[in-house]
Amino acid sequence: MNLVKFAMTDAAAGSWTGMLGTLLPLVLMFGLMYLLLIRPQRTKEKKLREQINAMAVGDKVVTAGGIVGKVVNLKDDEVTISTSVANTLITFKKASVSTVIKPVSE
């Protein structure tokens, strides 16, 4: 009788450490995933938002579709660029900008 009681109390005490031992690697894995994947992506997005907000006429931009051009007009959420092909004007949303290249002053 005492042996059964001892086994039951030992199992109850061990279940807490067993559960902790199971959850700890899972929590560490999510923490590592946050540090390696999510945090750098958020930093990159924040930097791009700052570049887009600081964009001015005369800056070069690259769109998400790969079009490169010079900014000729800015509105609230739209950008008009001039491409090098026959000075074509293209208007698109600011969210489509993937890179802003500031002109180098000499």
Global confidence as pTM: 0.68
The tokens describing 68, both together, are 């490169």
CA distance 44 to 73: 25
CA-angle at 82, arms to 60 and 63, nearest 5°: 55
pLDDT at position 2: 59
CATH 2.30.30 fits domain 56-106:
yes
For 88, the 3-state DSSP assignment is coil
The tokens describing 72, both together, are 């000729």
Does position 7 have pLDDT exceeding 60, yes or no? Answer: no
pLDDT at position 22: 82
β-strands 78-82, 68-74 pairing: antiparallel
Q: How many residues does the chain have?
A: 106
pLDDT digits (tens, 9 = 90+) for 32-78: 999 999 999 999 999 999 999 999 999 999 999 999 999 999 999 99
